[in-house]
Amino acid sequence: MQPQAQFLQRLLLRSKLTVEEQRAILSLQGTVQRVQAHRDIVSPGECVESACLVSRGLVARYDQMLNGRRQLTSFYIAGDACDLHSVVAPKVNWSITAICDATVLRVPHEQLRQLCLRHPHIALAFWRDGTVDASIFAKWIANVGAKQAKARIAHLFCEIGLRSEAAGLGSRTNFEFMATQSQVADATGLTPVHVNRVIQELRAGEPLSFRGGRVLIKNWETLLAVGEFSADYLMLSASPDRLPGVGGMDSGMSFASVPANQV
Amino acid sequence: MQPQAQFLQRLLLRSKLTVEEQRAILSLQGTVQRVQAHRDIVSPGECVESACLVSRGLVARYDQMLNGRRQLTSFYIAGDACDLHSVVAPKVNWSITAICDATVLRVPHEQLRQLCLRHPHIALAFWRDGTVDASIFAKWIANVGAKQAKARIAHLFCEIGLRSEAAGLGSRTNFEFMATQSQVADATGLTPVHVNRVIQELRAGEPLSFRGGRVLIKNWETLLAVGEFSADYLMLSASPDRLPGVGGMDSGMSFASVPANQV
DNA sequence: CGAGGGGTTGATCTCCTTCAACGGAGGTGG
DNA sequence: CCACCTCCGTTGAAGGAGATCAACCCCTCG
């Protein structure tokens, strides 16, 4: 599937868009960029001029401390835009890196701007998307700030599982997660050594296995409980949303899904 | 100053708006609500129908764990909208609470929607505002996940200081912060006892005093260093932004500041 | 074959928590 | 006006979750 279609699919999870709006998104032009594992896509201080749509692989945003310690603040899987907010705030002060070999589509801001100004509902969909991001950030604060190691790690796996499923990349109990234990440590604010021990506990206590970039959750309910996980913050369940138009209803508009090849 | 004007002022820190757009924001109608300290304004599971502009006092968003522990995920001071994203995502799954006695203006989503659809640049300003929020969230993850207690607390004080200054509520080294040590603990993922000890260290080591809801920073540079604080993530320094219009430039538009009383 | 990255294990250390108690300020009611 | 309560800040002692340090193994890859 082409990256634009992946991205559209993701937007449609939460936003209702007309056929015309969908076409506009599908017809975005960008340059495909392959990124090696551990290479940074964006670095602090940059003023970026394009946004990145992840089309393959795993990408993460992180902050680096002076002592070298790094803290991942979010993961982005295929279909996610790791950078969309850069349209309204192009100056970044964090890094985005490829966790494993990845492919991204770089879409110039110029085009996204046009989209936003021509199609207000697309701007709102982008904003909504950013809101989900923020909601995940907030949950991570709670995760890292107020939970024990085992719960943090369990929570992370639950999140990635559900997001992968929603993105059509697997099921919540069996999905690819190309991160090392060390990267999980960076995401959960723990050390690799301790992550290792906890993952062994989780393996022993049945709920999951994590090996070679694949997560297999044997007992979803247990893992939910261990991670104190509640899915609402991902905003996946609600039906896609759209603000009622100014003049009244959206009568006469079509919201059918546009097949990806129809561009 | 009326809350709408405070809010506008905040938006103008980062977004450039025409006189007309500014007027539209100033003419928002809402209901003023006084909230006692420790009372919740929004609770998880709610589907809110209005957004809250903080006009006086201190407000915070938090998550509650099953064991009763709570994690604050952000503070909102006068002028901030603690809830703006609810326009595009009205279902909330966290709480918003008044840290001290506070006054908020509740603006119905209906009006904000109208604003967004009639004035695309306002939608973008709102999105930009949400992006700042997200940026702060991300920084908090790094703060809580990768720093020691002293640095976390120092960082928090730096942030609130700068934000207060930007909002015209004091200077970065002398500002009101009506939180208890216990609430600082909830924000930094520490225990009240430990926060107390660390604050004493900070007092002894000169950089700051924090008593009776007022922070006095005696040595800003030291505090920055201790907290490993870098202000860019607040997006305060850059000049206000505006996407270039579709047709071309913004020729003929006025971006002068509208006096608050001129509505 | 050697190098390097990732996973695993054990021993030790430490930052922070937990538990428990006390003092002071402010508010309330007798 | 004082007794009383509650919330907040403060202090001490003990305990624990996780960090740190240092190996070692396995696999892949050049």
Please give the Cα distance from B140 to B238 (Å, whole number): 21
> How confident is the prediction for chain B on average, in pLDDT?
91
Helix (H, G, I), strand (E, B) or coil at A141: helix
Please give the Cα distance from A8 to A207 (Å, whole number): 33
Report residue A43's pLDDT band, with 50, 70 and 90 as the boundaries. Answer: very high
φ/ψ of A47, rounded to 5, equals -115, 100
Point out the residue nearest to C10 (C-alpha to C1'). Answer: A193
Report residue B211's pLDDT band, with 50, 70 and 90 as the boundaries. Answer: confident
Is 80 exceeded by the pLDDT of residue A166?
yes
Is 90 exceeded by the pLDDT of residue A88?
yes
> How confident is the prediction for chain A on average, in pLDDT?
91
The whole-number pLDDT of residue A2 equals 85
Is 80 exceeded by the pLDDT of residue A149?
yes
- Measured CA to CA in angstroms, residue A90 lies from A53, A83, A113, B65 at distances of 15, 9, 12, 35
- Measured CA to CA in angstroms, residue A11 lies from A92, A122, B69, B252 at distances of 23, 9, 34, 35
Average pLDDT value for residue range A122-126: 95
Please give the Cα distance from A138 to B134 (Å, whole number): 8
The helix (run of H) or strand (run of E) holding residue B211 is: strand B208-211
Is 90 exceeded by the pLDDT of residue A240?
no
Structure tokens at A67: 């002592």
Is 70 exceeded by the pLDDT of residue B251?
no
Q: Which residues of B touch A224 (CB under 8 A)?
A: none
State the greatest distance between any 2 C-alpha atoms of chain A, in Å, as a whole number.
60
The whole-number pLDDT of residue B109 equals 95
Sign of CA dihedral B78, B79, B80, B86: positive
Report pLDDT digits (tens) over A93-113. Answer: 999 999 999 999 999 999 999
The whole-number pLDDT of residue A42 equals 93
Report residue B97's pLDDT band, with 50, 70 and 90 as the boundaries. Answer: very high
Residues contacting nucleic strand C by the 7 Å CB criterion are A 180-182, 192-193, 196-197, 199-200; B 148-150, 189-191, 193-194, 197-198
Q: Which residues of A touch B126 (CB under 8 A)?
A: 127
Report pLDDT digits (tens) over B171-193. Answer: 999 999 999 999 999 999 999 99
Average pLDDT value for residue range B227-254: 76
Task: Verify whether the Cβ–Cβ distance A91 to B137 is below 8 Å.
Answer: no
Average pLDDT value for residue range B28-53: 93
Cβ contact A37:A100 at 8 Å: yes
The whole-number pLDDT of residue A216 equals 92
How buried is A262 (Cβ within 10 angstroms: 0-12 exposed, 13-18 middle, 19+ buried)? exposed
Q: Angle formed by the axes of helices A120-146 and B109-118, to 10°?
A: 130
β-partners of residue B76 are B59
Q: 């694949």: which residue's tokens?
A: A214
Report pLDDT digits (tens) over A32-41. Answer: 999 999 999 9
**From the centroid of its chain, how far is CA A127?**
14
The whole-number pLDDT of residue A246 equals 55
- Number of inter-chain CB pairs under 8 A, A vs B: 169
The helix (run of H) or strand (run of E) holding residue A97 is: strand A95-98
The residues, ordered by sequence, that sit 6+ positions from A211 with a Cβ below 8 Å of its Cβ are none
Helix (H, G, I), strand (E, B) or coil at A172: coil
Percent of chain A residues past pLDDT 70, beyond the cut: 95
The whole-number pLDDT of residue B150 equals 95
φ/ψ of A36, rounded to 5, equals -75, 155
Q: Does B131 contact chain A (CB < 8 Å)?
A: yes
How buried is B251 (Cβ within 10 angstroms: 0-12 exposed, 13-18 middle, 19+ buried)? exposed
Q: Does B241 contact chain A (CB < 8 Å)?
A: yes
Selection from B162, B164, B158, B135 nearest residue B228 by Cα: B158
Nucleotides of D under 7 A from a protein CB: 7-13, 17-22
Report pLDDT digits (tens) over A205-217. Answer: 777 889 878 999 9
| Three-state SS annotation for A22-84 | HHHHHCCCCEEEEECCCCEEECCCCECCEEEEEEECCEEEEEECCCCCEEEEEEECCCCECCH
